[in-house]
Amino acid sequence: MNFCSHCGSAQLVFKIPEGDNRPRYICSNCGVIHYSNPKIVTGCLPIWRNRVLLAKRAIEPRKNYWNVPSGYMENGETVEQGAAREVLEETLAKVAGLTLHTVFSIPHINQVYIHFLAELDKPDFGIGEESLEVRLFTEEDIPWKEIAFTSSVFTLKHYFEDLRKGRREVHMGGME
């Protein structure tokens, strides 16, 4: 951080503020403490007759790889709203009745993934502007070596494991 986003000053110091336990950027000019916290990535695994809807990414990172429709939350939305928005943006599909499926923490890149499950009312989907291709997959058809992110692999594996066991649970995971 080079400048204070509150007053524009370049008088920033990196130290532990009084009453805190972690170093933060503090503006020596206006006194504002700049907190840097993890980003929330929210997404949803749309399901149609035990098949899952995945999108092939048209953007970096991991362009040309398949992914659970996901993205960063926007200000002013709930995680469920963000997940439904990401599905619509990437697959043109509308989802409702989202249920929490996985929470996956990646502390070394300051991200937390929150993935939901939702049944599609009908197989009505298309290619959104961030996608190259959108398809329904059975577990056997998933191109596992072409899945973009570990968080998506975690979500997919737990969905199919739960399906085989006739249950739906919330799964916690992560990587350092």
Could you tell me if 47 and 31 lie in one domain? no
Could you tell me if 98 and 32 lie in one domain? no
CATH of the domain at 32: 2.20.70.10
Mean pLDDT value across residues 141-163: 98
% of the chain with per-residue pLDDT over 90? 99
CATH of the domain at 154: 3.90.79.10
Could you tell me if 141 and 112 lie in one domain? yes
Q: Which two tokens stand for residue 47?
A: 């399901």
**pLDDT at residue 16 above 90?**
yes
- Contact between residue 55 and residue 43 where contact means Cβ atoms under 8 Å apart: no
Mean pLDDT value across residues 129-140: 98
Could you tell me if 30 and 106 lie in one domain? no
Peptide bond into 107 cis (omega under 30): no
Could you tell me if 56 and 126 lie in one domain? yes
pLDDT tens digits for range 22-72: 999 999 999 999 999 999 999 999 999 999 999 999 999 999 999 999 999
Could you tell me if 70 and 142 lie in one domain? yes
Q: Provide the residue range defining the domain that includes 98.
A: 39-174
Give how far the C-alpha of residue 96 lies from the chain's centroid of Cα atoms, to the nearest Å: 17
Could you tell me if 26 and 103 lie in one domain? no
Could you tell me if 93 and 81 lie in one domain? yes
Neighbour-count burial for 27-38, b at 16+ CB within 10 Å, e otherwise: beeeebeeeeee
Measure the CA–CA gap between 16 and 119, rounded to whole angstroms: 47
* Number of structural domains in the chain: 2
**pLDDT at residue 84 above 90?**
yes
**pLDDT at residue 136 above 90?**
yes
Mean pLDDT value across residues 110-139: 97
Residue closest to 138 by CA, chosen among 54, 63, 55: 54
**Which pLDDT does position 154 carry in this prediction?**
98
Quote the pTM value. Answer: 0.91
Long-range contacts from 4-12, C-beta under 8 angstroms, 24+ separation: 4/29, 4/30, 4/32, 4/34, 5/34, 6/30, 6/32, 7/32
Measure the CA–CA gap between 36 and 13, rounded to whole angstroms: 14
For residue 168, what are the CA distances in angstroms to 29, 86, 131, 164?
52, 22, 28, 10
Could you tell me if 59 and 139 lie in one domain? yes
Task: For strands 51-57 and 39-48, give the pairing.
Answer: antiparallel
**pLDDT at residue 176 above 90?**
no
**pLDDT at residue 19 above 90?**
yes
**Which pLDDT does position 146 carry in this prediction?**
98
% of the chain with per-residue pLDDT over 70? 100
Could you tell me if 85 and 4 lie in one domain? no
Mean pLDDT value across residues 107-134: 97
- Contact between residue 91 and residue 46 where contact means Cβ atoms under 8 Å apart: yes
